[in-house]
Chains A and B, each alone.
Chain A
Amino acid sequence: MSTVNQIPRSSIIWMLLAQSGVMLPHMPRLSWWMVAIWLLCAAWRLAMFRGQASYPGTFIRIVLVMLGCVGIAVEFGRLGSLDIAVALLILAFSLKLIEVKERRDIFLVLYLAYFIVASSFLFSQSIMLALYQLGCVVLITAALVAMQQSHDKQSALLSWKIAFKMLLQAVPIMLVFFIVFPRFGPLWSVPSSKSSGSTGMSDSMSPGDIADLSRSSELAFRAMFEETVPSKSQLYWRATTLSFFDGRQWNTKAEALRDDDTLGWHSQKLMHKPVLSQQAKPIRYEITMEPTRQHWVYALPLASADTATSYIAKQLIVTNDLSLRAKTPYYNRSIVKLESRLDYIAEPELGAYRRYQETHLPAGFNPRARQVAENWYRDAGSPQAYMQRVLRYFTEQPFYYTLQPPALGKHSVDEFLFESKKGFCEHYASTFTFLMRAVGIPTRVVIGYQGGEENPFNRSIIVRQFDAHAWTEVWLKGRGWVRVDPTAAVAPERIEQGLEAALSDSDEFLSDNLLSPFKYRNLQWLSWARLRLDAVNYAWYKWVVNFDTDRQMQVLKRLLGDITPARLVIAVMLVMCSVLGLVALSLLRHRVSVEVTPETRLYWQFCKRLEKVGVYPANGEAPGDFARRVTTQYPHLAPQVNAISNQYQAIVYAGNSHPHAVKQLKRAVSKFRPKKNGKHKQRLPASVSST
């Protein structure tokens, strides 16, 4: 092996350092054996470097690759998912270590490291990860720089400095590309094999579901209102309605899910068009959906897509129960612009079949509850009075609002209503609906979120999983579907202040994760830091991660006024030129900073004049050589050029620094006006000689 291709000592360290850096964010996703393979390869590589081990043979390498592939196939199963692709990339990245023999192999590993950095953004786009990966990019670049340094001039600090400087210089260009580069939609979508495991709403609800959800402080979504934020008790974020009860579980109606039933808001084909109040101004806001893998869009009641942004409207459907549904599930974080009208009458008329759907109860469940319901209804006389009677029962009887209700048997409503009297919102909602339906009043369960925390730093509403809620809607003649929240009767502080206030007597709130910052809300600085970070994260998602065509157009419009190709090109050119101009300026300043003697300044002036003719001294060209070159190329300039050049050399090299000599040089240079074409100059001496 020639010395040129040998791997320098420090390069191995750089490579391993860069590799560990980029692997770290992938660690939680990788299984233990992949980490083990990587560690094994790294240890092997180090041992080879110390001469304690030899390069693995072809057989061993093939076996390792096969083992890795089989392991990945067993681990992830489904082919073609994102995780499997990234796992293969990381496997190759790890195994390449034991193949590194020459310099170019290290380059390969380092270039691969850039890919690994990029691939981690497929899983998370948080600002913290972005900052970390930025650091990794500097590290990889520094490693590349170190590879190019000579043996005896190596310095880690210098590599870092150079890498940092190079990347800093690239920032303006990156920004320009970020702003002007066309945004394409995803050309293909990569399914992630982890379809389960993320918390969030589902299409059904059984006792305990929402209580489970409420144990998590994970972010559900975020809302940003254009004008004033409605009061907290108004913030009922609907996901969907559940109308089908099998005795234990509430489900969405099968029909509501069918796409041909669920038509666009403006298509005039909605089965029951709601009656809108003409005076009320719509509330305009935007929702940042987290990747829920569900179709539901969480919105205030009677929401429709913001009419100003047509392309979002195309992706949304208003279903017959007036919830919002996206055509494709949310696999990525995305922003939806909505407008809601809180004042409306939904489904003013309820047909016989619809009435049957919304009052249906399975036979053979909860006989005691049915009996009581019929008695109360008889006493009350009207649906409204009956509703008040039921809610009063919740208030008067010792009902408890708790995250840990006792398990219920077959007749869950009976047991809850008359025995345990301890439940979470879904118990109250489902019991209330049952009691309503038992006497033939159309009622349905609504699931979604209630309330949310307002971030004072950017006025956004942060809704977390523990804000999950279930309530009901009752159909009343002439008023359509009316929201009734039985939980408000039991624990009004849940609606006014949130779950934490409702559970303030016990320590049930987030009892599973003691370290959650939400447990320590009364620590002022912690709360401050949490909300600040949240505001930063929100801005990051809104302006960087979610910088889509719409936002791009907005920004460009603000910057350029009107977006025309010519203006775009001019803007890009302007930025590029100013960057290059700055670089050039710094170079020029560097040159000027050297102390220049008057005669040398005159000489440069002379050279500059000659530049107009097309000749300029090369870097290493001595004044004498330059003068000879000029005079052979332009003989008509010879007398002047020779005079100036000789004078200059006499001053600078022969030590003739008499002030008179400099003056003479100055005179000669100021008179010197070279022209390519010698005719003009030649005519002059001719006329002189004739006189």
Chain B
Amino acid sequence: MPLLKKAVSRSSVRPADQSALDNCLNALANVVLGKEPQIKMALCCLLARGHLLIEDLPGMGKTTLSHALGKALGLEHQRIQFTSDLLPSDVLGASIFDKQTASFKFVHGPIFTQLLLADEINRTTPKTQSALLEAMEERQVTVDGETRALPVPFFVIATQNPQSQSGTYALPESQLDRFLMRIELGYPDSSAERKMLRGGDGRSLMEHLNRCIELDSLFALQDQVSQVSVSDALLDYLQRLIDYSRTAADFAYGLSPRGSLALLQAARAWALLERRNHVIPEDLQAVLPAVAAHRLAPSGGVYTSGQSLVAQMLESVHVVQ
């Protein structure tokens, strides 16, 4: 259709940025095998300027994925292994007395980086968790009355074990809300697993992973995300979804306005990854599980997970009305 072609051609993503994005996806898929959808979702999250939470059992490749993302995007990255005795100053940094200058000197904590890998975030105490989570929202750190801005871009990729595992401090709903997306990796399929077993050491693959995208390309793409157009019909659908989560009996509480903004932003990023300059319902549906599942809880007396609540939303709400 000529009209549609015209609509697509209006997309103003530079071809160079687009190919860099594709390179990124391919390179990551070579390192983290059989996880293309999750890789794409993670990139989508970063393009939407959101923080990412990866939740799964130990050994599923959470850390590998987050490392690979850091390397492929060419961002300066730091990793913190969260443990139960970690203190907020271990994350944020602290003022230390310097004998030579006879003054206090602020030693930057690992949080002052472009990409922070927060491993097993739910193994640390709520006190340390909240130190990190405040920085995530404000994108600045205040220590000793002095506010220090965090670098730009600033991403947090956190991993956590499922709450049922012992030795975990569950993140409260208010803090889960700070993560734009939560994804699960799941077991690889048999062919990917075979390839992994044959391919030998993942770490060597990681070492060969090069930077795929320049920083200004990343910024340009992030700017493009907010340029993706959203029609009234799509907003109607989005609002129907939100409304359903707020009124249906099985939901303990609905999606917050922050949740609905996150949903729209993620859908825009997804549309960009799909090389479209407008959002269609499929974009919304693609990001909904990752964006909404960790923000929802079933009401009392109903045994379901956030995932099945999202499935219920998708099945119950009309796309075209």
Q: Does the CB pair B252–A150 fall under 8 Å?
A: yes
Is residue A152 within 8 Å, beta carbon to beta carbon, of the partner chain?
yes
Question: Contact at B1–A647, with CB atoms within 8 Å?
Answer: yes
> 8 Å CB contacts to A: which residues of B240-287?
249-250, 252-253, 277-282, 285
Fill in one digit per residue for B278-302: 1 if any A CB lies within 8 Å of its CB, else 0: 1111100100000000000001111
- Counting chain B CB atoms within 10 Å of each CB, the highest count among A151, A618, A655 belongs to A655
Instruction: Give the interface segment out of B82-90, B138-146, B172-180, B227-235.
Output: B227-235
Whether A654 pairs with B249 at a CB distance below 8 angstroms is no
Residue of A nearest to B250 (CB): A150
Are the C-beta atoms of A653 and B300 separated by less than 8 Å? no
Does residue A195 face the partner (Cβ distance < 8 Å to B)?
Answer: no
Within the assembled complex, what's the spacing in Å between the Cα atoms of A604 and B318?
12
Instruction: Check B252–A653 contact: CB distance below 8 A.
Output: no
Pair A650/B1 contact, Cβ less than 8 Å: yes
In the complex, the answer to whether A622 meets B280 with C-beta atoms within 8 Å is yes
Interface of B, helix, strand, loop or mixed by DSSP: loop
Contacting pair A656 B1 (CB below 8 A): no
Q: Measured between alpha carbons, how far is A656 from B231 in the docked complex, in Å?
A: 10
Q: Do A620 and B1 contact each other (CB < 8 Å), given the known contacts A150-B252, A655-B278?
A: no
Query: B4 to A151, Cβ gap below 8 A?
Result: no
Interface residues of A in 611-641 (CB under 8 A from B): 617-625
Q: Give B143 Cβ to nearest chain A Cβ, in Å.
A: 40
User: In the complex, A604→B3 CA distance in Å?
Assistant: 21
Please give me the residue from chain B that is nearest to A628 by CB atom.
B282
B201 within 8 Å of A (CB atoms): no
Contact: B4 with A646, CB < 8 Å? yes
* Chain A residue contacts of B320, Cβ below 8 A: 600, 603-604, 617, 623, 652
| Complex alpha-carbon distance, A603 and B303, angstroms | 38
Query: A151 CA to B252 CA in the complex, in Å?
Result: 9
Nearest A residue (CB) for B313: A620
Report how far A597 CA is from B302 CA in the complex, Å: 38
Chain A 88-99: CB-based contact to B (< 8 A → 1; otherwise 0)? 000000000000
Chain B residues in 8 Å Cβ range of A603: 320
Q: Are B319 and A620 in contact (CB under 8 A)?
A: yes
Which listed residue (B278, B314, B321) contacts A654, Cβ 8 A?
B278
Whether the Cβ atoms of B4 and A622 lie closer than 8 Å is: no
CB distance from A596 to the nearest CB of B (A): 8
B1 touches A643 (CB 8 A): yes
Give the contacts of A80-108 with B (CB-CB under 8 A): 103
Indicate if the CB atoms of B316 and A652 lie closer than 8 Å: no
Asked if B189 lies at the interface with its beta carbon under 8 angstroms from chain A, I say no
Are A647 and B252 in contact (CB-based, < 8 A)?
no
- What is the distance, in angstroms, from B231's C-beta to the closest C-beta of chain A? 5
- Residue among B231, B250, B315, B316 with most chain A CB within 10 A: B231
Kindly state the separation between the CA atoms of A621 and B316 in the bound complex, as whole angstroms. 10
Given contacts A150-B249, A655-B229, contact A620 B316 (CB under 8 A): yes
Q: How far is the CB of B27 from chain A (nearest CB, A)?
A: 29
**A620, closest chain B residue (CB):** B314
Minimal Cβ-Cβ distance residue in A for B251: A150
In the complex with contacts A620-B315, A654-B4, A3-B281 CB distance below 8 A: no
B241 to chain A, nearest CB (A): 9
Contact with A along B215-243 (1 / 0, CB 8 A): 00000000000000101011000000000
Name the residue on B nearest A625 (C-beta): B282
Q: Is B317 an interface residue (CB 8 A)?
A: yes
**What residues of chain A lie closer than 8 Å to B281, measured between beta carbons?**
622-624, 653
Shortest CB distance A588–B (Å): 14
- A204 interfacial by beta-carbon distance below 8 Å: no
Looking at the assembled complex, report how far the CB atom of A601 sits from the nearest CB atom of chain B, in whole angstroms: 10
The CA of A603 and the CA of B318, in the complex, are separated in Å by 13
* B7 contacts chain A at the CB level, 8 A cutoff: yes
A643 to B4, CA, bound (A): 10
Chain B residues lying within 8 Å of A596, measured Cβ to Cβ, are 321
How far is A650 from B8 in the complex, measured between Cα atoms in Å? 10
Tell me which residues from 371 to 423 in chain A have a Cβ below 8 Å from any Cβ of chain B: none
Q: Which residues of B contact A650 (CB under 8 A)?
A: 1, 3-4, 7
> Cβ of A647 and Cβ of B317 under 8 Å apart?
no
Contacts of B278 in A (CB 8 A): 653-655
Kindly state whether residue A169 has any CB partner on chain B within 8 Å.
Answer: no
Contacts A3-B300, A646-B4 given; indicate if A655 touches B282 (C-beta within 8 A): no
In the bound complex, do residue A653 and residue B280 qualify as a contact, i.e. CB atoms below 8 Å apart?
yes
Distance (whole angstroms) from the CB of B3 to the closest CB of chain A: 5
By beta carbon, the residue of chain B nearest A668 is B1
B300 touches A619 (CB 8 A): no
CA distance A84 to B93 in the complex (A): 82
A149 within 8 A of B: yes
Contact, CB under 8 Å: A654 / B229? yes
Q: Does A4 touch B at the CB level, under 8 Å?
A: yes
What residues of chain A lie closer than 8 Å to B316, measured between beta carbons?
619-620
List the B side residues contacting A624 at CB < 8 Å.
280-282
Q: Are B252 and A620 in contact (CB under 8 A)?
A: no
**How far is the CB of A400 from the nearest CB of chain B, in Å?**
77
Residues in chain A near residue B280, CB distance under 8 A: 622-624, 649, 653
Q: Is A594 an interface residue (CB 8 A)?
A: yes
B299→A654 contact, CB < 8 A = no
Considering the chains assembled together, what is the distance between the CA atoms of A478 and B7 in angstroms?
116
B285-A620 in contact (CB<8A): yes
Closest to B278 in A: A654
Contact of B231 with A655 in the complex, beta carbons under 8 Å: yes
Residues of B within 8 A of A604 (CB): 320
A residues within 8 A CB of B299?
150-153
Closest A residue, CB atoms, query B241: A620
* Shortest distance between the CB of B274 and any CB in chain A (Å): 10
The verdict on A661 contacting chain B, using a C-beta distance below 8 Å, is: yes
- The 20 sampled A-B contact pairs (Cβ below 8 Å) are A3-B300, A4-B303, A150-B249, A150-B252, A150-B302, A620-B313, A620-B316, A622-B285, A623-B280, A623-B281, A623-B319, A623-B320, A625-B282, A646-B1, A650-B7, A653-B281, A654-B4, A655-B278, A656-B3, A656-B4
B residues apposed to A, CB below 8 Å: 1, 3-4, 7, 229, 231, 233-234, 249-250, 252-253, 277-282, 285, 299-303, 313-321
Taking A652-B233, A652-B320 as given, write out 10 further A-B residue pairs in contact, using a Cβ cutoff of 8 Å, ordered by the A residue number: A149-B249, A151-B299, A597-B233, A620-B313, A643-B1, A649-B4, A653-B281, A654-B7, A654-B231, A658-B3
3 closest residue pairs by CB, A with B: A622-B281, A150-B299, A652-B233
